[in-house]
A and B are shown apart, each in its own frame.
Chain A
Amino acid sequence: MPCYARILFIVLCLILLGECRKHRSRRKRWSAPAEGHKPGTPLSKKVADGTKSKKLKTSHLLRIDEHDFTMRPAFAGPAVPVGVDVQVESLDSISEVDMDFTMTLYLRHYWKDERLAFLSTTNKSMTFDGRLVKKIWVPDVFFVHSKRSFIHDTTTENIMLRVFPDGHVLYSLRVTVTAACNMDFSRFPLDSQTCTLELESYAYTDEDLMLYWKSGDESLRTDDRISLSQFLIQKFHTSSRLAFYSSTGWYNRLYINFTLRRHIFFFLLQTYFPATLMVMLSWVSFWIDRRAVPARVSLGITTVLTMSTIITGVNASMPRVSYIKAVDIYLWVSFVFVFLSVLEYAAVNYLTTVRDGKDRKLREKAREQSQNLPCTCGMSHGRTMMLDGTYSEADANSLAGYTRGSMAADDASEKPERIVVHLSLDNEPTETKKKKGFRIIQNTHAIDTSSRMIFPGAYILFNLIYWCVYC
């Protein structure tokens, strides 16, 4: 037993001795890499592990423990100037509904902190990652009017710190910011939006920290591959200003401004083109015979329904603004055109009914005056015959699916008679298409005829004015 104890005691002493030596050597400032092994060492001897070099810890290297880094450089002295440099990696998205944009950028700060200066023969800088940042002082730049933001941390925090021997520091991080952008939609979708990202120090006023663009307007660089699906990025430029807070004083604020112009093509295809087609479709109604009541009414009302659906679809993806947008003007004017075509047919129908009633009155008077007239059923059948003759060849079901069984029986009793509206009343049943066509044209109401000119003309004029104003 005592044998074992002695051996244990000796081993413990050796271990302690080893630790003391290691500890002593750590205190020394290390300036040269340790040699791996002496040249010519036989293989049997233990080779010192090159990865376990006797480097000092960073905190000792940079004398971090000797200073209080909760205080800024030149504390209680002049303001520390911090230069800022930005490289925009991408514009991730622009949201109209939330009125914000999301941007990913590399943000670089340049300042001088003499407490971090170290002796160096090669004058080369030393690079560290995010773990040193917690131990030294860095500027606390934040994005004014940002909604959400984060520093990327895959696989480790995307932070770089580069310290130069004279104490200059380069601090770079990769950030994604979602910031608010007041958008003006009065010319949507033919609009341009100007958005800005604002950088400012949170704690330090301009007496403590002076923020400035390191190289003026060239401080802002963008990747060449920045592209957005819906926008064209026109311009990126920088500016700087002072901002005043009544409780806390004046702060330096840096601005990144960019202008975006929207691509119109998607909206042309999605909104303008269908709306124009619907309006043109409603004009078809003027070319259909006014006696085809269900056809004209259902054409008009279905185009109104489709326009209503298009309008609802556009507003689903837009913020609820309190002013009128350019696309609203176009859609509502088109809606009004379509609506008016329905009203036009109502007027035609009403006037036709009124006129037919008056015609009937005249006919009855004429009938009363002359006893020799046969029953007027023939005349009416004649006109009916005209209409049916016209349509029966085309499509017996075109009107409502009901065919007339008694058509043939009425041929014999036709008699021409002068009617106010119809200038040519033919005895014979309609045979030639030319005569039929002539009769159709003769049977058109004056409102229809003028509408065929007025509606397209007015719509074309509206389009000319609209595109000239907004383009």
Chain B
Amino acid sequence: MVSGAAIPVGIDVQVESIDGISEVNMDFTITLYLRHYWKDERLAFPSRTNQSRTFDSRLVKKIWVPDVFFVHSKRSFIHDTTMENIMLRVYPDGNILYSVRVTVTALCSMDFSSFPLDTQNCSLELESYAYNENDLMLYWKNGNDSLRTDEIVLSQFFIEHFHASSGLAFYSSTGWYNRLFINFILRRHIFFFMLQTYFPTMLMVVLSWVSFWIDRRAVPARVSLGITTVLTMSTIITGVSSAMPQVSYVKAVDIYLWTSFLFVFLSVIEYAAVNYCTTLEEMRKMKRGKIPSTSNASQAMAFDGCFHDNDMELTPFSRMAPALTSDPLTTPTLTPDLRPTEGTRLRRQRSVRENVDLFVSNSYMIDSYSRLAFPLSYLLFNIIYWCFYS
């Protein structure tokens, strides 16, 4: 090396493949052909034909080659099957082409706040280890065309853009170094997550709405429907979180899953409200004496969930039956047997406010409104979510 001006070393990269991108480790693995071009006059040789001479890796140990390394790489190696994948081509005037095949695992800071509708920006950085810019000048041989790619296919990502850039890096102990950057932008394919996460979640929320259409007297049915959809949502949430790094901010998929969980949860709470109001209504009517002797049938329905036809004015289609002859007579005889079982024992005072009275005496309205309110609000949430993130 001439102790004088910096030696210019041109770099050319052909990316063979991107082997893997790991979210959990926040890194990527890339295999590339790295080519260096420089001139060393000590290697010039006389030649009539002006043809270059090609050598393999054994000559490399005997001559000077640039010591390029990958900044922020975790692991890297030069392939060595069957021989070290190194090529040296020497031209008669002393120009040298030095090519190696390398696999590098390098760090990439990923931002998951829009996962899985996210775009990641990763870069691979090349720099000389020993020689700063006074000794070795690293540059892209053909500008942006220095970076070529084979046909790269990734299962989960779409590679939007590959481009090359260069800069200077300062180390306080050692000075300024030339640094070359290989930048690429990856956009994630949403389809897998649609099928695996969003679609099951939507189906579970829709399934929880089925509960509003089932008779409110079917207590076990509605409760088990609600609680099983909550359980399935919980399983889906756990499944998504297992393949993700444990970041400290909320991701887009988290927002969707937790809002859907909230909807499913609210459908269970809604039924608890309906059931409570139904019971209050029953008690009130019993106290007013408008309940015929068959109230025990309705209570039985409340507990075993099966249809027992009766005259209970619990549906919107029945009117308050006028106080018929038999009812006041039979009621006192049966009232002792109609001691409400647990859960319906009325320990409270009478309700005070007017609208609570309205709800309680017409608890079927909660269901009717829910049949519209829940689907509409979920649809609204979906519209807002997809517009915001797409």
Q: B315: CB under 8 A from chain A? A: yes
A202 — which chain B residues lie within 8 A by C-beta? 56, 83, 85-87, 99, 101
Q: A210: CB under 8 A from chain B? A: no
Flag if A360 contacts B311 (CB, 8 Å): yes
Flag if B81 contacts A301 (CB, 8 Å): no
The CA-CA distance from A298 to B221 in the complex, in Å, is: 7
Q: B27: CB under 8 A from chain A? A: no
Query: What total of A-B pairs shows CB separation below 8 Å?
Result: 260
Least CB separation from A76: chain B residue:
B53
- A202-B101, A203-B56 known; A399-B305 Cβ under 8 A: yes
Flag if A349 contacts B215 (CB, 8 Å): yes
B191 — which chain A residues lie within 8 A by C-beta? 321-324
A240 — which chain B residues lie within 8 A by C-beta? none
For residue A199, give the distance in angstroms from its CB to the closest CB of chain B: 9
Q: B67: CB under 8 A from chain A? A: no
- A305-B232, A339-B207 known; A292-B316 Cβ under 8 A: no
B300 — which chain A residues lie within 8 A by C-beta? 402, 404
Flag if A387 contacts B306 (CB, 8 Å): yes
Q: A364: CB under 8 A from chain B? A: yes
The CA-CA distance from A246 to B294 in the complex, in Å, is: 92
In A335-380, which residues have CB < 8 Å from any B CB?
Answer: 335, 339, 342-343, 346-347, 349-350, 352-354, 356-361, 364, 367, 374-377, 380
Flag if A377 contacts B293 (CB, 8 Å): yes
Which of A107, A173, A247 has most chain B Cβ within 10 Å? Answer: A247
Flag if B319 contacts A364 (CB, 8 Å): yes
Q: A150: CB under 8 A from chain B? A: yes
Q: Which one, A138-146, A222-230, A256-264, is touching chain B?
A: A138-146
- A173-B82, A343-B210, A358-B317 known; A203-B54 Cβ under 8 A: yes
The CA-CA distance from A98 to B321 in the complex, in Å, is: 72
The CA-CA distance from A226 to B311 in the complex, in Å, is: 77
The CA-CA distance from A322 to B186 in the complex, in Å, is: 14
Q: A177: CB under 8 A from chain B? A: yes
Flag if B82 contacts A245 (CB, 8 Å): no
Least CB separation from B327: chain A residue:
A375
B99 — which chain A residues lie within 8 A by C-beta? 202-203, 247-248
Q: B304: CB under 8 A from chain A? A: yes
User: A145, A297, A364: which contacts B318 (Cβ < 8 A)?
Assistant: A364
Flag if A377 contacts B292 (CB, 8 Å): yes
Flag if B304 contacts A400 (CB, 8 Å): yes
User: A138, A140, A323, A339: which contacts B85 (Cβ < 8 A)?
Assistant: A140
Flag if B213 contacts A349 (CB, 8 Å): yes
Flag if B228 contacts A356 (CB, 8 Å): no
Q: A149: CB under 8 A from chain B? A: yes
Q: A308: CB under 8 A from chain B? A: yes
A138 — which chain B residues lie within 8 A by C-beta? 82-83
Q: B73: CB under 8 A from chain A? A: no
Flag if A342 contacts B207 (CB, 8 Å): yes
Q: A74: CB under 8 A from chain B? A: no
B-contact bits for A290-301, CB 8 A (1 contact / 0 none): 011110111001
The CA-CA distance from A248 to B87 in the complex, in Å, is: 10
Q: Which one, B9-17, B132-140, B268-276, B380-388, is touching chain A?
A: B9-17
The CA-CA distance from A142 to B33 in the complex, in Å, is: 13
Q: B31: CB under 8 A from chain A? A: yes
Flag if B232 contacts A304 (CB, 8 Å): yes
B-contact bits for A10-45, CB 8 A (1 contact / 0 none): 000000000000000000000000000000000000
The CA-CA distance from A71 to B59 in the complex, in Å, is: 9
B221 — which chain A residues lie within 8 A by C-beta? 293-294, 296-298
B294 — which chain A residues lie within 8 A by C-beta? 377, 380-381
Q: Which one, B174-182, B192-200, B253-261, B279-287, is touching chain A?
A: B192-200
Q: A205: CB under 8 A from chain B? A: yes
Q: Which one, A266-274, A312-320, A433-441, is touching chain B?
A: A312-320
Flag if A322 contacts B303 (CB, 8 Å): no
For residue A70, give the distance in angstroms from its CB to the closest CB of chain B: 5
Flag if B214 contacts A320 (CB, 8 Å): no
Which of B33, B101, B300, B316 has most chain A Cβ within 10 Å? Answer: B300
- A146-B81, A302-B228 known; A245-B14 Cβ under 8 A: yes
B89 — which chain A residues lie within 8 A by C-beta? 203, 248
Q: Which one, B120-128, B148-156, B162-170, is touching chain A?
A: B148-156
Flag if B214 contacts A349 (CB, 8 Å): yes
Q: B114: CB under 8 A from chain A? A: no
- A140-B83, A375-B324, A384-B297 known; A301-B225 Cβ under 8 A: yes
- A321-B192, A324-B195 known; A360-B224 Cβ under 8 A: no
Q: B344: CB under 8 A from chain A? A: no
Flag if A297 contacts B54 (CB, 8 Å): no
In B197-216, which residues have CB < 8 Å from any A CB?
Answer: 199-200, 203-204, 207, 210, 213-215
Q: A204: CB under 8 A from chain B? A: yes
Flag if B306 contacts A293 (CB, 8 Å): yes
The CA-CA distance from A405 to B296 in the complex, in Å, is: 10
For residue B189, give the distance in angstroms from its CB to the closest CB of chain A: 3
Least CB separation from A143: chain B residue:
B81
B229 — which chain A residues lie within 8 A by C-beta? 301
Flag if A140 contacts B57 (CB, 8 Å): yes
Q: B290: CB under 8 A from chain A? A: no
The CA-CA distance from A320 to B207 in the complex, in Å, is: 27
Flag if A400 contacts B220 (CB, 8 Å): yes
Least CB separation from A140: chain B residue:
B83
Q: A208: CB under 8 A from chain B? A: yes
- A145-B16, A203-B56, A301-B224 known; A402-B303 Cβ under 8 A: yes
B82 — which chain A residues lie within 8 A by C-beta? 107, 138-142, 151, 173, 175
Q: B58: CB under 8 A from chain A? A: yes
22 interchain pairs, CB-CB under 8 A: A75-B53, A140-B85, A141-B82, A145-B17, A146-B79, A175-B81, A202-B85, A203-B54, A203-B89, A245-B33, A248-B97, A293-B215, A294-B224, A297-B225, A321-B155, A335-B203, A346-B214, A352-B307, A361-B317, A375-B327, A377-B292, A399-B305
Interface residues of B, Cβ cutoff 8 Å to A: 12, 14, 16-17, 19-20, 31, 33, 35, 51, 53-59, 62, 79, 81-89, 97, 99, 101, 103, 148, 153, 155-156, 189-192, 195-196, 199-200, 203-204, 207, 210, 213-215, 218, 220-222, 224-225, 228-229, 231-232, 235-236, 239, 292-294, 296-297, 300, 303-311, 315-319, 321, 324, 326-327, 330, 337
18 extra interface residue pairs, beta carbon distance < 8 Å, beyond A293-B306, A304-B203, A383-B309: A76-B53, A139-B82, A140-B82, A142-B82, A143-B81, A145-B16, A203-B86, A248-B89, A298-B224, A320-B156, A332-B199, A346-B214, A356-B315, A364-B321, A377-B292, A380-B309, A400-B305, A404-B300
Listed from nearest, the 3 A-B pairs whose CB atoms lie closest are A400-B304, A357-B317, A322-B189
